[in-house]
Chains A and B, each alone.
Chain A
Amino acid sequence: MRRSFVLAAIAAGLATSVAAQELGAQNPGRPDLGAGADRQIQRRKAWEPTAPPSDPKDFTGIWEVPNPKIDLKQDDGSNPPFTPAEARSTQRMIDAEKAGAVITDASTQCFPHGVPRLTMAPYPIRFVHQPGKILMLHEVGHNVRVIYMDKTAPPKDTPMSFLGYSVGRWDGDTLVVETTHLNDQTRLDMHTSHGPRAKITERFSKQKTPQGYTDLVDVITVDDPDHFTKPFSVTRKFAFRGDLQANFWTAGLTEYSCEENNRNVPDANGVVTAK
């Protein structure tokens, strides 16, 4: 109850700044958000790295981006190859945010977040291997992705949806997931739009960090000729959070009820007044 309220508040906060949430624990001005929020923030403080399953093709367990950034900067720091129209659209959103507007998107209204917006969200993800499919159970907004491993293409007449249709295959020890049929009601990050022709390819693989820990690295390639002049890639690295699974209920995923206190509804002009 209290926790859900807090999470809605955090979701609202996300709209303006993920960094603000991450820094909340160090911010002396942070209001008392209750035990749930403390847990949310506390677990992003110091935690002991644990080892994921040793099988390179076993992703089972909880993974989380330690330093989440919801942006589309490429590995060399450059912006994506926007079409002129998308460059203008993205800049409009950035300017509006700078001017004090709260940027809203599907995620801030309790809709499924879209791909790869969901993959970048600063919340843990639980991978589950099953016959014919791999599940990605997301804490944030109880988003569920099903990666179909027993298909080579989406079925005929697959509808457009917030999370699209995902087909997966193994390329060595790399899980390659292609997602299409994404509706155009989500953004790729907080500012940049995509169209219905978007194809998102994610390549997930376990990789050793310089410290000897094992990350799950996701190289995300966006191909959408209506918004970008050519395909481009962004990378996200997930840390294994065996500690969450060991120490908290529901395998380490906190119940996240966005719907309970969905206050972040935009007005007719698409403007949100954060409460």
Chain B
Amino acid sequence: MKTLLLALAATAVAGGVALAADPWAEVPAAERPAPGAPDLSGVWAMPSPIRTLKTTDGKDPPLLPAARAEYAKRQAALKADPTSDPVSKCWMQGVPRLVYAPYPVLIAEEKDRVDLVYETNHTFRIVDLKRALPKEGPDLDPQWLGYSVGHWEGKTLVVDTVGLNDKTWLDYSGLPHGEKLKVQERYTLARPDRIDGVVTITDPDTYSRPWSTAFTLVKKPGYELKENVCVRDHRM
């Protein structure tokens, strides 16, 4: 009898806690992520910055000869003048470089979209979970952050991006890309507080084959995005 009562009490407490703790309860029902979608919502950050991308097996990316020459040129320029990096102009960092910026990202999960809100110069991307990628061709006006669609594969959010302009670098070291760049980002919820990420670069004008590179994001519970502003040549 006593055991039964205790069990009932435990159930009630567990039920009460579960209800009170459901962070989605206050989000309108029609806007909550699809049932079963892993919960990536919250603020995440890289535990250690990545400045030079390597392939998942630790090698240099497979640059084509012309791209290799451009890369060498950029590295020499960086050595002579660190402000030769396009981010020193406060331009948008592009995809995937924004992923590697040394500031947290707020992931906002919705029914039909995932918003990636970067602390870095308050830049956001909106990943459409319902659309197909736009057709390639002259109508696809290249953008700094391109056009992104996403879908769920089990515990993984898969984001495909095209339509990126060629003014951005892939990383801090100056890895180049062209406008044919396709980027796939895979965000796998390995644990509730860790995302194992993989970025795959496909750019036949720059690299001899598609290649992938890994990253990790850890959750920062309670962290609030700071106002981060990059403006060049300003005078208030």
A209 → chain B, closest Cβ, in Å? 22
Q: Which residues of A contact B231 (CB under 8 A)?
A: 109-111, 259, 262
Proximity string of chain A (120-144) to chain B, C-beta cutoff 8 Å, 1 when within and 0 when not:
0000001011111001010000111
Proximity string of chain B (109-146) to chain A, C-beta cutoff 8 Å, 1 when within and 0 when not:
11001010100011111101000001000000111110
With both beta carbons as reference points, the residue of chain B lying nearest to A53 in the complex is identified as B30
A265 interface hit (Cβ, 8 Å): yes
Whether the pair A129, B28 counts as a contact (CB closer than 8 A) is yes
With A146-B224, A259-B90 as known contacts, state yes or no: A129 contacts B122, CB within 8 Å: no
Whether the pair A268, B224 counts as a contact (CB closer than 8 A) is no
Most buried by B among A135, A159, A255: A255
Identify which of residues 254-273 in chain A touch chain B, using a CB-to-CB cut-off of 8 Å: 255, 257, 259-260, 262, 265-268, 270
A78 interface hit (Cβ, 8 Å): no
With A58-B28, A250-B126 as known contacts, state yes or no: A265 contacts B235, CB within 8 Å: yes
The stretch of B19-27, B49-57, B170-178 in contact with A is: B19-27
Assembled-state Cα–Cα distance A250/B123 (Å): 13
B26 → chain A, closest Cβ, in Å? 7
Most buried by A among B23, B123, B134, B227: B227
Whether the pair B234, A250 counts as a contact (CB closer than 8 A) is no
Contact of B41 among A2, A131, A267 (CB under 8 A): A131
A58 → chain B, closest Cβ, in Å? 4
Whether the pair B122, A259 counts as a contact (CB closer than 8 A) is no
B229 interface hit (Cβ, 8 Å): yes
Assembled-state Cα–Cα distance A118/B108 (Å): 22
B236 interface hit (Cβ, 8 Å): yes
A25 → chain B, closest Cβ, in Å? 20
Identify which of residues 150-203 in chain A touch chain B, using a CB-to-CB cut-off of 8 Å: 155, 159, 161-163, 185
Q: Which residues of A contact B26 (CB under 8 A)?
A: 129, 131-132, 149
With both beta carbons as reference points, the residue of chain B lying nearest to A252 in the complex is identified as B126
B214 interface hit (Cβ, 8 Å): no
A85 interface hit (Cβ, 8 Å): no
B43 → chain A, closest Cβ, in Å? 10
Main secondary structure of the interface of A (DSSP, over half): loop
Identify which of residues 140-161 in chain B touch chain A, using a CB-to-CB cut-off of 8 Å: 141-145, 147
Whether the pair A161, B227 counts as a contact (CB closer than 8 A) is yes
Q: Which residues of A contact B29 (CB under 8 A)?
A: 55
Whether the pair A55, B30 counts as a contact (CB closer than 8 A) is yes
Assembled-state Cα–Cα distance A143/B124 (Å): 9
Whether the pair B229, A60 counts as a contact (CB closer than 8 A) is no
With both beta carbons as reference points, the residue of chain B lying nearest to A34 in the complex is identified as B141
Assembled-state Cα–Cα distance A129/B23 (Å): 11
Assembled-state Cα–Cα distance A48/B109 (Å): 28
Whether the pair A109, B236 counts as a contact (CB closer than 8 A) is yes
A253 interface hit (Cβ, 8 Å): yes
Whether the pair A112, B227 counts as a contact (CB closer than 8 A) is yes
Whether the pair A259, B92 counts as a contact (CB closer than 8 A) is yes
B72 interface hit (Cβ, 8 Å): no
B193 interface hit (Cβ, 8 Å): no
Proximity string of chain A (99-111) to chain B, C-beta cutoff 8 Å, 1 when within and 0 when not:
0000000100111
With A109-B231, A112-B229 as known contacts, state yes or no: A253 contacts B126, CB within 8 Å: yes
Q: Which residues of B contact A149 (CB under 8 A)?
A: 26
List 15 A-B residue pairs with CB atoms under 8 Å apart, sorted by A's residue number: A53-B28, A57-B28, A58-B28, A58-B31, A60-B31, A129-B26, A135-B115, A142-B121, A251-B113, A251-B126, A255-B143, A255-B144, A260-B144, A265-B233, A268-B235
Beyond A149-B26, A260-B92, 10 additional contacts (C-beta under 8 Å) are A60-B28, A60-B30, A111-B231, A131-B41, A144-B117, A159-B227, A249-B134, A255-B144, A257-B144, A259-B92
